[in-house]
């Protein structure tokens, strides 16, 4: 399995990206990596390292999309960006999958443009794994589609459930709709209509879930529009950081706190590990006709490695084809 990795994407590129590629070929016999980006910089990053040169190759791309760029401009003007060249490798068959920690909007739009949608999919979505007190759950959409129709949410549910089954190995994923009350009459116009559609599917639909309950592990897949999902995701990240900062401040301000904080370090490390996006291996673009995985902008080499692992699984299990098959078999889409 050959995976094209955007060597230039992310806050710590290309060093952590190169490191992630090296760790990957060491740990995973089935994954070879194509580093896509500035050839000189990648070569210099690799120069002092010992690795199996048959398993890491370089494809040059002269441009880099910066995080603050407008997606439409970047796509029009940067035809030789590492994102575009990398996705091109998937399109031509030279790579089985693409991974980037770069500009998620540009990765999404370029994937859509070059690879197209899985058959029957109306709107691809960005999914992300979030921790719960027991395990984790998949939330989607978290930003690709800010204004949605009820049928979009239904497709997100089908796509998320398929991913959860094939990649996370959960037999009958519990699917819930993010809303403001558990009863079917609670919600906005969008979720109330989506609820009716979801009831009629073969999915293991468990109804609405409220914001306060998503972290208790009540659902494997939480479905929402991309505006709500992005806000939910960012609030969770921001609050987790804030709570740890506030706790640390409180802890070190009481007399016994400094000792306690020292004693606590292993516990805080464990906690961070469980809640860290590094562990989760990136956010898949569901509904794209191919494998394109977004990794967090702040990705470490471990996050890159985990994203490459997910990309390999996604490609080998042909999740994008399974999604097309599931959507095709749903009565709402068979009729139309």
Rule CB under 8 A: choose which of 143, 160, 281, 282 binds a copy of itself: 143
Torsion of CA 300, 305, 311, 316, to 10 degrees: -170
Alpha carbon distance 273, 96 (integer Å):
29
- Rounded to the nearest whole angstrom, what is the least distance from the CB of residue 135 to a copy of itself in the complex? 12
Please tell me the count of residues contacting a copy of itself according to CB under 8 A.
Answer: 61
Nearer to a copy of itself, 38 or 278 (CB): 278
Rule CB under 8 A: choose which of 242, 325, 328, 331 binds a copy of itself: 242
- Among all chains, which residue has been given the structure tokens 């995973």? 28
- Rounded to the nearest whole angstrom, what is the least distance from the CB of residue 148 to a copy of itself in the complex? 9
Residue 112 and residue 325 in contact, taking contact as beta carbons nearer than 8 Å = no
Q: Which of residues 6-65 bind a copy of itself (CB under 8 A)?
A: none
Torsion of CA 185, 124, 294, 306, to 10 degrees: 80
> Does 172 contact a copy of itself by CB under 8 A?
no
Rule CB under 8 A: choose which of 231, 316, 321, 329 binds a copy of itself: 231
Binding part of the chain for a copy of itself, among 8-16, 35-43, 111-119, 258-266 by CB under 8 A, reads 258-266
Alpha carbon distance 102, 295 (integer Å):
8
Rule CB under 8 A: choose which of 270, 316, 321, 325 binds a copy of itself: 270
> Does 276 contact a copy of itself by CB under 8 A?
no
Alpha carbon distance 324, 48 (integer Å):
45
> Does 196 contact a copy of itself by CB under 8 A?
no
Nearer to a copy of itself, 77 or 334 (CB): 77
Rule CB under 8 A: choose which of 24, 111, 275, 291 binds a copy of itself: 275
Alpha carbon distance 316, 67 (integer Å):
30
CA distances from 20 to 13, 32, 44, 86 (A): 11, 12, 16, 17
- The pair of structure tokens assigned to 315 is 């490609």
Binding part of the chain for a copy of itself, among 15-23, 79-87, 261-269, 306-314 by CB under 8 A, reads 261-269
Q: What are phi and psi of 81, to 5 degrees?
A: -75, 155
Alpha carbon distance 118, 273 (integer Å):
34
- Rounded to the nearest whole angstrom, what is the least distance from the CB of residue 216 to a copy of itself in the complex? 7
Residue 49 and residue 55 in contact, taking contact as beta carbons nearer than 8 Å = no
Alpha carbon distance 114, 173 (integer Å):
31
DSSP state of 58: E
Binding part of the chain for a copy of itself, among 19-27, 193-201, 257-265, 324-332 by CB under 8 A, reads 257-265
**Interface mask toward a copy of itself for 87-126; x: CB under 8 A:** ----------------------------------------
Q: At what angle do helices 226-253 and 257-275 cross, to 10 degrees?
A: 160
> Does 331 contact a copy of itself by CB under 8 A?
no
Would you tell me which residues interact with a copy of itself (CB under 8 A)? 70, 132-133, 143, 146-147, 178-180, 185, 187-189, 191, 210-216, 225-228, 230-247, 250-251, 253-254, 256-257, 259-261, 263-264, 266-268, 270-271, 274-275
């Amino acid at each position: 399995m050959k995976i094209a990795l955007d060597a230039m994407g992310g806050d710590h590129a290309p060093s952590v990206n190169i490191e992630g590629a090296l760790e990957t070929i060491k740990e995973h016999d089935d994954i070879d990596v194509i580093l896509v980006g500035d050839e000189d910089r990648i070569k210099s990053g690799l120069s002092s390292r010992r690795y199996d040169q048959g398993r890491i190759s370089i494809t040059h791309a002269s441009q880099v999309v910066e995080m603050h760029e407008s997606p439409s401009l970047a796509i029009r003007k940067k035809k030789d960006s590492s994102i575009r060249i990398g996705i091109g490798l998937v399109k031509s068959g030279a790579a089985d999958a693409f991974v980037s920690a770069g500009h998620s909007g540009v990765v999404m739009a370029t994937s859509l443009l070059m690879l197209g949608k899985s058959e029957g999919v109306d709107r691809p979505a960005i999914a992300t794994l979030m921790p719960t007190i027991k395990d984790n759950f998949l939330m989607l959409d978290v930003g690709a589609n800010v204004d949605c129709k009820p049928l979009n949410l239904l497709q997100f549910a089908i796509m998320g459930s398929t991913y959860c089954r094939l990649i996370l190995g959960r037999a009958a994923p519990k699917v819930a709709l993010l809303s403001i009350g558990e009863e079917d009459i609670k919600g906005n116009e969008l979720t109330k209509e989506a609820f009716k559609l979801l009831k009629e599917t073969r999915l293991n639909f468990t109804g609405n879930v409220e914001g306060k309950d998503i972290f208790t592990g009540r659902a494997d897949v939480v479905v929402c529009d991309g505006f709500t999902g992005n806000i939910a995701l960012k609030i969770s990240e921001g609050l987790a950081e804030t709570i740890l900062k506030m706790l640390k401040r409180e802890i070190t301000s009481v007399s016994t706190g400094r000792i306690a904080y020292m004693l606590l370090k292993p516990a805080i490390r464990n906690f961070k590990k469980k809640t860290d996006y590094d562990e989760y291996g990136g956010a898949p673009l569901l509904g794209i006709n191919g494998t394109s995985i977004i990794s967090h902008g702040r990705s470490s080499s471990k996050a890159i490695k985990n994203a490459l692992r997910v990309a390999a699984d996604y490609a080998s299990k042909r999740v994008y084809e399974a999604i097309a098959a599931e959507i095709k078999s749903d009565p709402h889409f068979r009729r139309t």
